[in-house]
Amino acid sequence: MNDYKRNIAIKLRIIDIISSEYKKDNENNTSFITLNDGRNISRVNIIGTIINISEEEQAHFTIDDGTGEIKIIPFNEVEKIKDLNIGEIVLIIGKIREFGEIYITPEIIKKINNKKWVELRKLELEYKTTEESNKKEILN
């Protein structure tokens, strides 16, 4: 029986991803970012607006969530981005990678048509940030 266990895709803001330290564990063939609270994150769940689509040799697109921008690079899967348009909101679940800059290799790309999901995500992340700040105050 296979004991492989997939890491949970953590809901984050783009600023949390791009401002974190990227690390690669060659022994276990894993890569991850380390957040300020010490957690190691290898898979993320983010929502953002497509601000750029590139169909160069390595097709990719860039999303922005209001806190920052990050490239989404679906290696060898150009089909995943051919139906996307600038200005659309997408949910991305994927692995964090780095080559000169931190980017995401998507496992799931889903268009978000109802903007209420974006509002909900912002509230979830604000609540999480407030909750973490309160815990720090209590511990200090």
Choices 3.40.720.10, 1.20.1730.10, 2.30.110.10, 2.40.50.140: CATH for 10-113:
2.40.50.140
Residues contacting residue 108 through CB under 8 Å, at least 6 positions apart: 91, 92, 93, 94
Question: Each residue's pLDDT tens digit in the chain (140 positions)?
Answer: 566 677 889 999 999 999 999 998 877 778 899 998 888 999 999 999 999 998 776 789 999 999 999 999 987 666 667 789 999 999 999 999 999 999 999 999 999 999 899 899 999 888 776 666 555 556 55
